[in-house]
């Protein structure tokens, strides 16, 4: 093939490809494009913080940003002692919050040191920037860190439009499995969910550890941790969950009423028991041991 034929082949392929694309575009004209790129669908997650770009997910025990900045001496001890290296240091671009510890949940969430004797970061803190919270009682830790408390780290918000489980991309309930308070902060069994294991996040019961964000398999993350001060976003998420519960009563497709369940007992149970007792009495009189296996016909 010489150069002229080669160029003709390229031009011919371009025209054919352009014609097919134009033909497909013509027939799709005016129809809504159903499957948008993931980065467009998850744009809500990027903007979910309502423009508040100064929110830092602080280590457990911090009582709000203002109080924390007043008491933190930027010693880095909590950064060094963190057993899973979840605590990072803010850069100079953070302004007044520069050199202070914070957690990036997209990288590593906080496990709250629930498997250890104490929370290592607040145990070593030389000031009162991080309140010391014992971990011997997980319920106490939950009461201290749940939404509404000053020590709350943050609140998890789920965007169901990009969640793999809610969009039926795959059977995923990773956030439910990793949540230290699953059954409270994260539950399954939503009657409106496509599958039984589809997770639902309850912001009002979230401690803000960020483990759900870390494990979320969606590239842009379907879960975002926001400050509990962002009341409008959090209240909207709570109202959404409450509305779904009101629209779907307790008896849904994932449950059943025990009282209305039909019994599968033998239809002639009383006569069957009488026959078995008579047979057992005959065996005792004859001295031979009665074996149920020899009376299988009674059960048929």
The pLDDT assigned to 123 comes to 94
How many angstroms separate the CA atoms of 101 and 200, rounded?
30
Would you place residue 99 in the very low, low, confident or very high pLDDT band (cuts 50, 70, 90)?
A: very high
Is 26 a domain residue? no
**In terms of Cα–Cα distance, which of 300, 137, 286, 107 is closest to 210?**
107
Tokens for 33, please give them.
């494009």
Judged by average pLDDT, the poorest of 4-18, 153-167, 225-239, 274-288 is 274-288
Number of structural domains found in the chain: 1
pLDDT of the residue at 78 = 95
Neighbours of 68 (CB within 10 A): 21
Does the pLDDT value for residue 279 go beyond 90?
no
CB-CB contact of 232 with 50 (8 Å)? yes
pLDDT value at 154 more than 60:
yes
- Residue 272 included in any domain: no
| CB burial of residue 181 (10 Å; 0-12, 13-18, 19+) | buried
pLDDT of residue 263: 47
Q: Is residue 299 part of a domain?
A: no
- Per the CB < 8 A criterion, the answer to whether 158 and 42 are in contact is no
Number of Cβ atoms within 10 Å of the Cβ of 121: 28
Domain hosting 126: range is 39-247
Q: Could you tell me if residue 101 is inside a domain?
A: yes
Q: In this predicted structure, which of 19-28, 187-196, 276-285, 291-300 has the lowest mean pLDDT?
A: 291-300
Kindly indicate the confidence band of residue 53, based on its pLDDT and cuts at 50, 70 and 90.
low
**Over the stretch 281-300, which tens digit does the pLDDT of each residue have?**
665 555 554 444 444 343 33
Phi first, then psi: give them for residue 139, nearest 5 degrees. -70, -35
Would residue 24 count as lying in a domain? Answer: no
Is residue 280 one of the residues assigned to a domain?
A: no
Q: What is the pLDDT of residue 189?
A: 87
56: how many CB neighbours lie within 10 A of its CB?
Answer: 19
Helix (H) / strand (E) element for 101: namely strand 101-103
Residue with tokens 């100079």: 92
**pLDDT band, very low/low/confident/very high, at 1 (cuts 50, 70, 90):** low
Residue at 4 is within a domain: no
Of 296 and 153, the structure prediction assigns the larger pLDDT to 153
């Amino acid at each position: 093939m010489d150069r002229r034929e080669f160029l003709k082949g390229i031009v011919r392929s371009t025209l054919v490809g352009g014609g097919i694309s134009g033909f497909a575009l013509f027939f799709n004209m005016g129809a809504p494009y159903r499957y948008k790129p993931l980065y467009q669908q998850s744009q809500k997650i990027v903007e979910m913080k309502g423009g508040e770009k100064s929110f830092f997910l602080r280590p457990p025990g911090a009582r709000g940003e203002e109080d924390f900045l007043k008491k933190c001496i930027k010693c880095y001890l909590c950064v060094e002692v963190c057993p899973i290296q979840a605590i990072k240091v803010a850069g100079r671009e953070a302004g007044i919050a520069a050199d202070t510890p914070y957690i990036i949940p997209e990288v590593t969430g906080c496990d709250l040191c629930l498997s250890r004797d104490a929370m290592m970061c607040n145990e070593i803190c030389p000031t009162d920037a991080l309140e010391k919270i014992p971990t011997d009682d997980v319920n106490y830790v939950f009461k201290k860190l749940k939404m509404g408390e000053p020590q709350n780290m943050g609140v998890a918000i789920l965007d169901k439009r990009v969640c793999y489980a809610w969009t039926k991309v795959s059977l995923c309930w990773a956030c439910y499995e990793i949540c230290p308070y699953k059954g409270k902060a994260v539950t399954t069994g939503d009657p409106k969910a496509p599958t039984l294991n589809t997770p639902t996040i309850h912001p009002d019961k979230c401690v803000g550890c960020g483990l759900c964000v870390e494990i979320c398999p969606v590239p842009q993350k379907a879960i975002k941790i926001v400050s509990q001060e962002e009341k409008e976003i959090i209240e909207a998420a709570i109202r959404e969950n409450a509305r779904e519960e009101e629209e779907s009563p307790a008896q849904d497709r994932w449950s059943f009423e025990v009282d209305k369940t039909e019994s599968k007992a033998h239809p002639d149970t009383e006569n069957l028991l009488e026959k078995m007792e008579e047979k057992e009495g005959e065996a005792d009189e004859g001295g031979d041991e009665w074996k149920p296996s020899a009376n299988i016909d009674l059960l048929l």
